[in-house]
Structure 1
Amino acid sequence: MKDPVVIIGIGEIGAVFARGFLRTGHPVYPITRSMDIQAERSQVPEPIVVIVAVGEADLHPALEKLPDEWKPRIALIQNELLPADWQCHGLVDPTIASIWFEKKPGQDVKVVIPSPVYGEHAELLTGSLNALDIPAYLVHDRERLLFELVRKNYYILASNIAGLKVGGNVSKLWAEHEPLVRTIAGDIHTLQEHLTGNKLEHEELLQAMLVAFDGDPGHQCMGRSAPARLQRALRIADEAGLDVPALREIAAASRQ
């Protein structure tokens, strides 16, 4: 039997990975909210990888509870993920997957574009996804990983925040509201440069975001998390003293 895999958080995405690992012959040990991570560590002391599949809001509490023995084996798959999110927990170079597929209750997996995966256990994760016919590929350097993470943030934040104003799907968003998308993306760029401490190529990121728009043109812009994403972005801007006029205008209009 192959080495075991631990998955912390068995929601829709965690369950997809579980199915992929089972198909490739790895036993899977799920950890849910009600379980004691430290106690479970004694049952599975040396998993080949530990995938943290909780939502963005639960990421930091989950990482705070990680056993030290598991930290070198960690893989993260959250949205709105940037290096500071794992570095503040003492994780040096974890495996990271920028997930570009959706899984909603009662529906099959919907692929937007292939998912890039970086790190020591990247081949293991891509193998589990490929076993389910979910395209994924390896990223070999940190610079490219950062680009892919920021690209995903552009996609999520631009579509969600623009959707608060105009609704619709991403295809219509760009076709009918390109100036709005560009102004929002400019503010997102300001936030991402602040959060990463890096100079980022805005136009290249914008064009990469549009490739993802084309991958699922019917994707609805405004998910239920959109208001919280906007408020989180404004909180970061306020704390850093950043000028994000487009985001502030949309927030003000949504309060009326």
Structure 2
Amino acid sequence: MQNPIIVVGMGELGSVFARGFLKLGYPVQAVNRQQSMQDIAESIPNPVAVLIAVGEADIHQTLTDCPAQWQEKTILLQNELLPRDWEATNIKNPTVISVWFEKKKGMDSKVVLPSPVFGQHAKLVFDALATLDLPCVQLDSEEELLYELVRKNLYILTTNIAGLKVGGNVSELAENHADVMNSVAQDVLDIQDTLTQSKQPREPLIEGMLEAFEGDPQHGCMGRSAPARLKRALGFADKAKLDVPILREIQNTL
């Protein structure tokens, strides 16, 4: 009998990955909000891997609370994730995937781009998604992973925050509001550079964002989380004393 894979958070994405692991022949142990990770870790101290699939709002507390037995086996998939998020906890060398498929209730998964993954469990993730016909690409380095995480953040934050100003979908944003899109993108990248303590390559990142637009041109810009994302971005900007003029202008109009 295979050791199980733990899935913390059985929402839409957690359920997709759980199905892939089951199709590979692994038992899956779910952990929901009412359950203690520590209690389950005492009965399953040596799982194959631990997928943490909680939402962005819960990720930091979940990483902090992750039992010691599991800390070197984690797989992370949250939006707005950067190395600083796990480096602030006891999580060591997690496997990280930038998820580029969308899964909503009652809908099949919708692929925008192949999802890049890096870390010790990259092949496990790749194989699990392959059972579901979801494309995935295994990365070769932490530098590649950082680029992909920043690209995803750029896509999410630019579309959500620009959407607060102009609405519409990503195709309309690029075609009709390129000035707003580019101004927001530059402010977002100023924040990402601060959070990663690095200078990320801007032209390739913006091209990478536009490539994602082409993968799902009708994708709406402004999700439910857009106001919270803007507020969080401005919190980072204030802490780093960044100007981010378009972000402040959009906040003032809300």
TM-score, length-normalised on structure 1?
Answer: 0.98
Alpha-carbon distance in structure 1 between the residues aligned to 2:43 and 2:134: 31
Alpha-carbon distance in structure 2 between the residues aligned to 1:163 and 1:77: 24
Q: How does 1:8-157 map to 2 (within 5 A)?
A: 8-157=8-157
RMSD of the alignment, in Å?
A: 0.7
Alpha-carbon distance in structure 2 between the residues aligned to 1:2 and 1:168: 48
Q: What's the counterpart of residue 206 of structure 1? A: 206
Q: Secondary structure at the match of 1:113?
A: coil
How many residue pairs match? The answer is 254
Alpha-carbon distance in structure 1 between the residues aligned to 2:17 and 2:173: 31
Q: Secondary structure at the match of 1:33?
A: coil
Q: Is the 2:71–2:92 Cα contact (8 Å) retained in structure 1?
A: no
Q: Secondary structure at the match of 1:72?
A: coil
Q: Secondary structure at the match of 1:46?
A: coil
Alpha-carbon distance in structure 1 between the residues aligned to 2:2 and 2:170: 42
Q: Secondary structure at the match of 1:208?
A: helix
Alpha-carbon distance in structure 1 between the residues aligned to 2:134 and 2:155: 20
Unmatched tracts of structure 1, length 5 or more: none
Q: What's the counterpart of residue 219 of structure 2? A: 219
Q: Secondary structure at the match of 2:51?
A: strand
* 1:4-47, Cα deviation, whole Å (9 max, x unpaired): 10000000000000011111111100000000111101221111
> How far did 1:146 drift?
0.3
> How far did 1:122 drift?
0.5
Alpha-carbon distance in structure 1 between the residues aligned to 2:102 and 2:200: 27
> How far did 1:159 drift?
0.2
Alpha-carbon distance in structure 2 between the residues aligned to 1:58 and 1:239: 22
Q: Which amino acid aligns with 2:191?
A: L
* 1:112-143, Cα deviation, whole Å (9 max, x unpaired): 10000000000001111111000001011010
Q: Does 1:167 align with 2:167?
A: yes
Alpha-carbon distance in structure 2 between the residues aligned to 1:200 and 1:118: 18
* 1:51-70, Cα deviation, whole Å (9 max, x unpaired): 00000110011111111110
Alpha-carbon distance in structure 1 between the residues aligned to 2:90 and 2:3: 25
- Which 4+ stretches in 1 moved above 4 angstroms? none
Q: Does 1:3 align with 2:3?
A: yes
Alpha-carbon distance in structure 2 between the residues aligned to 1:17 and 1:90: 24
Q: Which amino acid aligns with 1:18?
A: A
Alpha-carbon distance in structure 2 between the residues aligned to 1:242 and 1:92: 30
Alpha-carbon distance in structure 2 between the residues aligned to 1:206 and 1:158: 10
Q: Secondary structure at the match of 1:47?
A: coil
Alpha-carbon distance in structure 1 between the residues aligned to 2:202 and 2:31: 39
> How far did 1:92 drift?
2.8
Alpha-carbon distance in structure 2 between the residues aligned to 1:152 and 1:73: 23
TM-score, length-normalised on structure 2?
Answer: 0.99
> How far did 1:90 drift?
2.4
Alpha-carbon distance in structure 1 between the residues aligned to 2:125 and 2:142: 17
Q: Does 1:242 align with 2:209?
A: no
Q: Secondary structure at the match of 2:199?
A: coil
